[in-house]
Every structure is written in C-alpha cells, then in structure tokens.
Amino acid sequence: MIDKLIIGGHEFRSRFILGSGKFSLEMTDAVIKNGGVEMATLAIRRANVGGEENILDYMPQGITLLPNTSGARNAQEAVRIARLARELGCGDFVKIEVVHDSKYLLPDNYETVKATEILAKEGFVVMPYMYPDLNAARDMVNAGAAAIMPLGAPIGSNKGLCTREFIKILVEEIQLPIIVDAGIGRPSQACEAMELGVAAIMANTAIATASDAALMASAFKLAIESGRMAYLAGLGRVVEHKAVASSPLTGFLED
C-alpha cells in the first residue's frame, strides 16, 4: 500500500513523529528505530553544539529534524529560535510552540499565527502547535502553515483525545495534514485518533514514562499503522437501539 505522508512537499512513510524532549540521550536512538520514526523534534537547548553531550549525535542518520520553539512566550521569541535552529544546520522544518501559560501550558494561537506568517515567508516548513480552534487553524493555513498540530489534551498529561470533537472538525475542514500533538497517552488512543482521519501522531511523554520505552515505541508504531489502515478501509456503520444478525436469519426468531 502506497500511502505517504506529505508535509511541505516532503514525503514520509511513517506517520509517527517523536517528541524527543523527555528521553535520555542514550535512549533516543533505540526509540526512533523501534518506532520506525522518520521525523523527531529537537529542542534547541539540547543541541549543545561543541559540547560534550549533543542530542544530534544520538539521532540516526536520515532523520528529519523538527526543531521546536519550546520556551517561546511570544511570536518574536519563536521566530528567533527558529532562525537559530536553521543557522545550526537543523534544516527548514520548524514546530512553532508559543506558550506563556505556566499552569496548563496551552498554546497561544494568536501569537502562533503571527510567527507562522513570518517564518513561512522566510521559506520554513512551518508546523504550528495549537489549541484546536477552526478559525485559528484557518488563519494558520492562510499564514502559510504546512500542517496543523492540535493538542489532544494538555501536554504531558497522557489523558488522550479530550479534544476529539474539535479535531474531527479540523480533519473535515482543513486541507492540510492534521497531526495530533500532546496528550496521547496510550497506543489505543493513537489508533483512535488515526481512525478519525488525522495524518499523523506526535508522542513523547507516553513513551518516555513507560517502563520499557523502546517496546512502547513499537506499540505506538503498530497502533498508528492500524488506525490509518482502518480509516482508509472505511469504518463500519454504527447501529443504535437494536442488533443486526451477522448471519441471515430468514424465517428464524421471527414473531
């Protein structure tokens, strides 16, 4: 089955994007390989160029780096971090993350739109992390986003698809890849999201906090693939308030 994920003109076979922020450097390589990951986030503060410990040294060859602007509190700071990532040789992909709420860590959609517009004009492949709001998503599309990354639940919570109905709206209305980012805590939740028709899943905490992170990465890989196949196959109908026999019952059990 040829079913590639296309973001900003770049093709990927895997629909599992790894958030690498919570892993030990030694674990990064094993998780990426077990998960079949082709794209992984990178916090610029972990790219300790010239230092003793550099996460870039633990990324397998061929991985597409997705620098994020974590720590940015407004559009100006996000743009500065993205430009720095490019100068460090991390490529043109960037995940815009603007958060100034220290309790719930919810993204600021307004500042994210501003950063998206600036960086898209500079040739970045911009993937904004956002609270799932249709109007904000449309603004991000108009600003030049290459994909939209709505949260499933507050970041790091492992609560799953708390924003399920809003993500469904984005899938139906936005003609860009919808990538669920933040909150997915189990492979079953990743599968459920893929069945909705989202293009990919980003996960970090669910894997980093598992007893066996490498094995959990494999579980997420299979769940994401399964959910995608179910979506492409077309899910069966749901029948309310009665049962329907799976075999013909003509002349049987009739009043």
Name the more confident of 59 and 72. Answer: 72
- Cα separations (Å) of 214 from 16, 24, 207? 14, 12, 8
Distance CA 40, CA 37 (A): 7
pLDDT tens digits, 131-175: 999 999 999 999 999 999 999 999 889 899 999 999 999 999 999
Is a pLDDT exceeding 90 seen at residue 29?
A: no
Of the residues 4, 22, 33, 95, only one is catalytic, namely 95
Distance CA 255, CA 242 (A): 16
Is a pLDDT exceeding 80 seen at residue 16?
A: yes
Distance CA 66, CA 41 (A): 4
For residue 90, name the pLDDT band (cuts at 50, 70, 90): confident
Name the more confident of 253 and 22. Answer: 22
Is a pLDDT exceeding 90 seen at residue 190?
A: yes
Distance CA 203, CA 210 (A): 12
pTM to 2 decimal places: 0.88
Distance CA 176, CA 168 (A): 13
Q: How many CB atoms lie under 10 A from the CB of residue 95?
A: 27
pLDDT tens digits, 63-82: 899 999 988 999 999 999 99
Q: What mean pLDDT is reported for the chain?
A: 88
What would the two tokens of residue 133 be?
């709001």
User: From its phi and psi, is residue 69 left (phi > 0), alpha (psi between -120 and 50) or beta?
Assistant: alpha
DSSP 38: S
Is a pLDDT exceeding 60 seen at residue 243?
A: yes
Distance CA 13, CA 15 (A): 7
Distance CA 190, CA 200 (A): 9
Q: How many CB atoms lie under 10 A from the CB of residue 13?
A: 10
Residue 159 among the catalytic residues: no
> Averaging pLDDT over each range in 29-43, 85-99, 117-131, 233-247, which range is the top one?
117-131
Is a pLDDT exceeding 90 seen at residue 125?
A: yes
Hey, is 130 helix, strand or coil? strand
